[in-house]
A = this chain, B = another copy of it.
């Protein structure tokens, strides 16, 4: 007998079906019991006779056959009169660590310590369905725009951003690092003839930050594209991409958005504002001072509020970061060589993207390394790429968990991470 998912049951009215899932609730009326079965797709009410309910406990895994009938009193409007019931996953607990079938505020640390259990709660799991669909939409959009998906090594021999804040790995007889980003490799693959690439992979930051918005291992949505005019091509691509992602989520995640009670933002045009202008606005309109060549976390929040009011946009590109705040490969602005063709994207007060145009000329890159006090010989494998006709190119990276967190209006990035890694946590 073919298994039915709960969401498909309306198609099986008055039919006998096989369903599988976990016991979400038990409502025992003595001669009869109502059991709510929860599967991947939803909840349905089972009707059990006295003899069938014996020994059942919350969260046991069941396989059930029975006939689907209408019942307007049941939450989904349907119920299954149980004919056969088999416990396929037993309960081995005295007491559940916390209720799974209630919307109770369970402390985040407790949730994370019992990840298998906490994720069974539909509201706690909902952000991950949304996260999966973000990835789907990201990939579909890029493939449609001639990007190739690549997989590049996370074990590397030297840092891409100068070498600080990296985890070290004992690699046989030598020392290696975990990649902070696929930066060098995605550029190399543009040059290798893929022209446009993306990667969905882990990135590692050994940062000594234990905050609501930092993870030490996260999923980076990386893009790099060749044959561009300048950094505006990259911002155009991200704008189109985000519009597509939001459209897709509205269709694919209607149920999850409802569970989370959130509205998705609407993008028409994302304002592009020079960092220096943003700093001036913050100072003049909010008496908010910013650190040199940057905004701080508070400044990001304030400026996002300003943009929301003035442009009705939840997103804003900050452009033209100074050379001093950007990595060695960042393209300077020819007319203003202390500024770069780079940008950040803020979304509801949080930076979710860094991107920009890269230097593509061999000589310029080599000289820039020297200016940055780096030894070009240490980067031979990377520099070599630039000897053989490297086209103008640029790219960006989106932090998947940050984007998910902000779209779902979660308070902590760990709520958008199945199994987070932070300074204090490497289990489960």
Binding site for B on A (CB under 8 A): 3, 5, 20, 22-23, 38-40, 59-61, 63, 88-93, 96, 113-117, 119-120, 125, 128-129, 132, 135-136, 143, 146, 148-157, 167-172, 174, 176, 178, 184-185, 188-189, 191-196, 201-202, 204, 206, 208, 216-217, 219, 226-227, 360-363, 381-382, 384-392, 400, 418-419, 421, 423, 426-428
A381 engages B149 (CB within 8 Å) = no
B172 engages A169 (CB within 8 Å) = no
Determine how close the nearest CB of chain B comes to the CB of A136; give it in whole angstroms: 8
A interface majority secondary structure: mixed
Determine how close the nearest CB of chain B comes to the CB of A423; give it in whole angstroms: 6
20 contacts between A and B (CB under 8 A): A38-B193, A61-B391, A90-B362, A91-B389, A93-B387, A116-B189, A125-B193, A136-B143, A151-B400, A152-B418, A155-B167, A157-B427, A167-B170, A168-B170, A172-B206, A172-B208, A185-B419, A188-B428, A201-B201, A381-B427
A426 engages B206 (CB within 8 Å) = no
A154: contacting residue among B193, B202, B386, CB under 8 A: B202
Q: Quickly give the copy total for this chain.
A: 2
A227: contacting residue among B3, B59, B384, B387, CB under 8 A: B3
A392 in contact with B148 given A120-B193, A188-B428 (CB within 8 Å): no
Q: A155-B167, A155-B204, A201-B201 are in contact. List 14 more A-B contacts (CB 8 A).
A: A40-B146, A61-B226, A89-B391, A93-B388, A116-B388, A120-B192, A125-B193, A154-B217, A155-B421, A167-B169, A168-B169, A171-B426, A185-B419, A201-B202
Q: Which of A119, A136, A206, A418 has the most CB of B within 10 A?
A: A418
